[in-house]
Each structure stands twice: as C-alpha cells, then as structure tokens.
Chain A
Amino acid sequence: MSDLTIRNLKKSFDDTHIIKGIDLDIKDHEFVVFVGPSGCGKSTLLRLIAGLEEVTSGSIQLDERDITDVAPAKRDLAMVFQSYALYPHMTVRKNMSFALDLAGIDKAEIQRKVEDAAKVLELGPLLERKPKALSGGQRQRVAIGRSIVRNPKIFLFDEPLSNLDAALRVLMRLELARLHKELNATMIYVTHDQVEAMTLADKVVVLNAGRVEQVGSPLELYHHPVNQFVAGFIGTPKMAFLKGTVKAVSNAGVTVALDCGPHYQLPHQSTSLKPGDDITFGIRPENIEVVGADQSPFKVRLDVTEHLGADTYCYIKLANGEMMTVRAPGDFMADYGQNAGLLPDLSQAHLFDASGKTIPRPRTPAQAA
C-alpha cells in the first residue's frame, strides 16, 4: 500500500508564501502529475513530500503514518532529480547500490537487485562506467535505476525529462509509462509541460500560485476545466478566449454577444449570470471549422497558416485585436489575409464568468462516462 494524504499544507520562505494550503489524496498505483507554470510551487510541493524542505504548517501522511517531520531517508520515497544528481565519483553500479549499501543490506542481495534493475533499464553493459562517460538518456536511466533498487513506496520525479532533447524526451516518456505499468508503482511527477502531464498521468494536479486549481484525469481537465486558467493551460494550441457580454439567460441556455461580432446561443446553465454581465467565451482550436466568408456570421481575416502535415494551424487576428488559433485539416489551404468565416462547435464551447470560473455546460454522454 502507498496512499499519500496531504492536508492543508503550507510552505513559506520568510514572508513569501509558496504553497498556500493544499489538500490532496494520492492513491496506491496512481501516476500523478503536478503541472503548472514556473513558480507555481509544484517543485516545492514535491520537495515537501520528499522531506527536502521543512513544512510550515499542515500534514503529510503516508499510509496512516504521519511523515510531516520525518527525515527524507526514513520516508520510503525515492526521487529522480532534473539534473539526475548522480554521484560523479562512483560507477553506475555504485550509484545504484549506494542506498542499499548505507542501509547495510547483504552484498549478494545488493548485487542481485542492481542487476535486476539494470536489466529492466538496459543498463547492463554500463554498470562499471562513471556518469561522465554516459549520454543524457543513459544518465537519466541510471537515476531511475537508483530509485528502483530501493523499491520505494512512492517514486518522485522532478522534471526528469527537461534536460533531454525532443526525440529522447518522447522515448523516455514512453519508457516511464511502461515502467509505471511494470512496477505497478505509485509515482508523482512534476513538469511544466502539459503534454507530458496529459500523456503520462492517471491524475493531473494543476497548480497555480501555490494553490491547486483542479485535480482530475487528463480528459476531465481537457473537457471540463473548472476555470479559465486550467482551460488555457491544458491543450495545445491554447484555447481561444473571446470577450463578450451576456444578452439573455433562460432555461434553454445563455445568449452571448462577442465583442468581435457574432451572437451565440449556448446550452450552458447558469443561475448567477444576468444580462449585461461580462463573459469570456472559450473555444478550442480543434472545435472550430473554417468556412467561406459568406457561410458564417463570424467573419475573420486569416493571418499566417502553419502546415504541420496532419494538421494546419491558422492564426487569426480579430478586428478587436484578440488573437485565436484554429486547427484545420492537414490539406487546408488558405492565403495570407484571405477573408473567411468561422463555425465554432457550440456544444464544445466554454463560458467563464468575470472571475474566470467556468459556467457548467451539459455533458455529452461520452464525456460523462
């Protein structure tokens, strides 16, 4: 078992409050990703769990045991650092056996565990090398191997892929996902890269300015962000946010007038909105279709288009200065400055009130499941 329970956790450095009261439950075998912009406190939260920073207030429990003030080594956690933090003066084998060695485990047992881990990570031929004779990806694997041999309750990863090049990052991402399945381990992973978060996580924790914005599965966050911050942070290219005003509210939904022109009747249900309120209309690039200028009331001029092969990104600057991106099919062709119309899929649109909170929309059967 390894259930982690965090209650009202706070951390301040002098007068700077980094973590402002976090409650979080992490279940056995879960792959949890902390994601957020830089400075949101995600690394600090991980370091608090690891015991590398002292908690200001609140508690951390691992399987009913309060570990808030327990020394890092006694927490039964292993951590993979962004810089790998390998011991430069030790061979790969020594790096991996260091913790077991300190724990006074039998030599033959250590050897067996190291060889096992080396096999899983394909490090066998490198065991007698020093870290400086390894490539970035190999160092990364040694760092992971170092945690595997200890068989910890929870694996902690602090942006482990950010020092790798793009191709290797994708490879290592897959390897981590595979490792999670094979070891059936609980993992907590910190990243600023929302693609890593979406692809790896069972559960994503979106952090911003020291608070949890939302916790949920990747698709939950994608389809039902609780506020504008999460909506903007998850998904690439970013969701477009268009300012507007509420025209009417009824049982059938909300009618909005966007500053850039069109009026839309949306199925969202709200009791708090009233006509005249400021509102933000959010639509993901993949939920908009580009049509002829005469086929939609939402008339725009296309800016630059980028052909990625499978997709085409059309960048659009609206008459009122707002920017948005549309994801069109790969073979979509358009000229710079061409007039066009946009058809947003209103069933996929998001509405945020003036404070940025989401106005809920009815769930489609697929999303509800």
Chain B
Amino acid sequence: MLTLKQGRQLQTVLLGTLAWLVALTIFFPIFWMILTSFKTEIDAFATPPQLFFTPTLENYLHIDARSDYFHFAWNSVVVSFGSTLLGMLLAVPAAYSMAFFETKRTKSTLLWMLSTKMLPPVGVLVPIYLIFKDFGLLDTKFGLVLIYTLINLPIMVWMVYTYFKEIPKDILEAARLDGATALQEIYRVLLPISKGGLASTVLLSLILSWNEAFWSLNLTASSAAPLTALVASYSSPEGLFWAKLSAVSTLACAPILIFGWLSQKQLVRGLSFGAVK
C-alpha cells in the first residue's frame, strides 16, 4: 500500500509525464519542420527519416533568391494588426453593451455570433469571392483586414465579454455617479481595469490572423498575399520539395512563434482568467 504522500507523489509524476507527452506530440511537427529545413532535398526524403545529417542553408538561400520574403511578411503584419485593431474597436463597445446592459436576447446573440464560427468557410467562399470582386477588394490588404476582422470578431467579442463580466457593475455605476460619460466610463475605468484580458484578446487575434490560410489563399494573388500564401506557393507547382517547403514554413511561423513565446505568460493568464471562476 502507498501512503498518502507517496500516492500524491506518484500522481504528480504521472501527470507530469502525461503533460510532457502531450507537449512533445504537439511540438514534434514544428521541430521536424525546422530540422527538415536544414536538410538537402535528398536527406529530407530519406527513409528511414534522418535525425542526424549535415545541415545546409541552401533552402533558405533558394527562397531568398526566388521570392521577396519581406513583401509577404509585411502583408502579414499589416493584415494581422489591422484586423486586430478594427476588431477591438468593434468588440469592445459590443461586449460593453452585452456585459453591462444585458437584455433577454444578449445570451442568444452571443451564441449566434459564436455559431457563425461553426459554419465551414468554404460554404460561403463563392458569395464572398463575388462580393470582393464587385467591390474591388480582391488581392487588397484592406479586403483581408475586413474578412479577418469578421471571422475573428465572434471570438473577440466573446472573450472581451467574459472579461467585462468579471468587473463588478458597481464600479461603472460609481463612475456614472461621479460624472463620467459612457466614453469616459469605458476609457478611464473599464479599459484600464480589464487591460490584462484585452491584451490576451489582442494576442489571440494577432495569432489567428497571422495563421489564417483559407481566405488569404482564395482572396489574394500577389500584391496583398501574406506569408501563408507564400508557403502555399511552394507546395504545388514543382512537386514536393520537402526541404524548401519546410524552410519557407519555418520562415512564416518564426515571427509569430517568437511573438507567442515572448507573450506566453500574458496569453496563458488571459485565457485561463475567465475559466477559473
């Protein structure tokens, strides 16, 4: 028989092992991608897969020669930050009214907004493509900003709503009695109090926009194409060049990986904030 203390230790060890297994499973593809990006095409294809090889930079040099990485990267930056900014401008007032001026329909509105995320995007591809064509939005950064804002808005409203819900209504009422207008109430009281949660929402929106591929592939060609489109351009026409594909993928992921790494404390804190309660 185990003592209570031994039981607890065993539990810790088992849970720790499980967590590591999950983490490694998730990380492995990224690790393998980075590894492959330094292989020659022959090494990349080898069976059995090679863990040890002579690293080379030829894939990166090839990409640098063939495409203008910074053009795509800049598009990604503009589109993610643009859609995040626009999304926050819409999500904050929406969540404010839902959290503090709740009506009978608030809950169902929220659910309905979220339900739009369950729709397969491809189902609305044709109508959206046609709308974009008619309004001259195809292959424009503004068009991408719009579509990213729209697809991320439900999640952003939901998250901001959750953070606002945690703030006692009394505090806003006190501000109202103190003479604050609705805007002052939001900018001087609500936003500073919920800045942690808002930061997480911004981070998540940036990450989701950066990684989005379906719409960027279908609505852009070259001038507004972000990094996801660059990656895709390496996959099809020339057959499967694993090493080059890995290198370009690594380049596409690197900025957001580093960004996510730097902000992970904030992200984790923000995401668990609402769930703990």
Interface check A103, CB cutoff 8 A: yes
Q: When the two chains form their complex, are residues B193 and A85 in contact, meaning their CB atoms are under 8 A apart?
A: no
Q: A84-B170, A88-B193 known; 13 other A-B pairs, CB under 8 Å?
A: A50-B177, A52-B177, A71-B176, A72-B173, A72-B176, A72-B177, A73-B177, A78-B177, A85-B168, A85-B174, A87-B193, A89-B192, A102-B184
Q: When the two chains form their complex, are residues A89 and B170 in contact, meaning their CB atoms are under 8 A apart?
A: no
Q: How far is the CA of A176 from the CA of B17 in the complex (A)?
A: 59
Once A83-B170, A87-B189, A89-B192 are accepted as A-B contacts, the answer to whether A98 and B175 lie under 8 Å apart by CB is: yes
**Shortest CB distance B29–A (Å):** 42
Chain A 40-65 interface residues, beta-carbon cutoff 8 Å to B: 50-52
Once A87-B189, A88-B193, A89-B193 are accepted as A-B contacts, the answer to whether A73 and B170 lie under 8 Å apart by CB is: no
Q: How far is the CA of A72 from the CA of B176 in the complex (A)?
A: 7
Q: How far is the CA of A81 from the CA of B174 in the complex (A)?
A: 8
Give the residues in chain A near B179, CB-CB below 8 Å.
73, 99, 102-103
Give the residues in chain A near B188, CB-CB below 8 Å.
98
Interface string of A73-91 (1 = CB under 8 A from B): 1000111011111111100
Q: When the two chains form their complex, are residues B178 and A98 in contact, meaning their CB atoms are under 8 A apart?
A: yes
Q: How far is the CA of A73 from the CA of B178 in the complex (A)?
A: 6
The A interface is mostly helix, strand or loop, or mixed, namely: loop
Of all chain B residues, the one with the shortest Cβ separation from A88 is B193
Of all chain A residues, the one with the shortest Cβ separation from B104 is A14
27 A-B pairs (CB sep. < 8 Å)? A50-B173, A52-B173, A52-B176, A52-B177, A72-B173, A72-B176, A72-B177, A73-B179, A73-B180, A77-B177, A79-B173, A79-B177, A81-B170, A82-B170, A84-B170, A85-B170, A85-B171, A85-B173, A87-B174, A87-B175, A87-B189, A87-B193, A89-B193, A98-B175, A99-B177, A102-B180, A102-B184
Q: When the two chains form their complex, are residues B168 and A83 in contact, meaning their CB atoms are under 8 A apart?
A: yes
Give the residues in chain B near A88, CB-CB below 8 Å.
171, 193
Chain B 98-152 interface residues, beta-carbon cutoff 8 Å to A: none
Give the residues in chain B near A102, CB-CB below 8 Å.
178-180, 184
Interface size for B (C-beta < 8 A) is 16
Interface string of B178-192 (1 = CB under 8 A from A): 111000100011001
Give the residues in chain A near B175, CB-CB below 8 Å.
87, 98
Give the residues in chain A near B189, CB-CB below 8 Å.
87, 89
Contacts between the two chains (Cβ within 8 Å), count: 59
Q: How far is the CA of A4 from the CA of B170 in the complex (A)?
A: 24
Give the residues in chain B near A85, CB-CB below 8 Å.
168, 170-171, 173-174
Of all chain B residues, the one with the shortest Cβ separation from A98 is B178
Give the residues in chain B near A103, CB-CB below 8 Å.
179
Give the residues in chain A near B171, CB-CB below 8 Å.
85-88
Interface residues of A (CB under 8 A from B): 50-52, 71-73, 77-79, 81-89, 98-99, 102-103, 146, 150
Interface string of B233-263 (1 = CB under 8 A from A): 0000000000000000000000000000000
**Shortest CB distance A44–B (Å):** 13
Give the residues in chain A near B192, CB-CB below 8 Å.
89
Q: How far is the CA of A88 from the CA of B195 in the complex (A)?
A: 12
Of all chain A residues, the one with the shortest Cβ separation from B174 is A85
Give the residues in chain B near A98, CB-CB below 8 Å.
175, 178, 180, 188
Once A87-B193, A89-B193 are accepted as A-B contacts, the answer to whether A79 and B174 lie under 8 Å apart by CB is: yes
Q: When the two chains form their complex, are residues A81 and B173 in contact, meaning their CB atoms are under 8 A apart?
A: yes
Q: When the two chains form their complex, are residues B174 and A73 in contact, meaning their CB atoms are under 8 A apart?
A: no
Give the residues in chain B near A72, CB-CB below 8 Å.
173, 176-177
Chain B 156-211 interface residues, beta-carbon cutoff 8 Å to A: 168, 170-171, 173-180, 184, 188-189, 192-193
Of all chain B residues, the one with the shortest Cβ separation from A81 is B170
Max chain A CB contacts within 10 Å: which of B171, B175, B177, B193?
B177
Give the residues in chain B near A73, CB-CB below 8 Å.
176-180
Give the residues in chain B near A99, CB-CB below 8 Å.
177-179
Give the residues in chain B near A86, CB-CB below 8 Å.
171, 174
Of all chain A residues, the one with the shortest Cβ separation from B192 is A89
Give the residues in chain B near A71, CB-CB below 8 Å.
176
Of all chain A residues, the one with the shortest Cβ separation from B180 is A102
Q: How far is the CA of A329 from the CA of B168 in the complex (A)?
A: 47
Give the residues in chain A near B178, CB-CB below 8 Å.
73, 98-99, 102, 146, 150
Of all chain A residues, the one with the shortest Cβ separation from B191 is A89
Of all chain B residues, the one with the shortest Cβ separation from A75 is B177
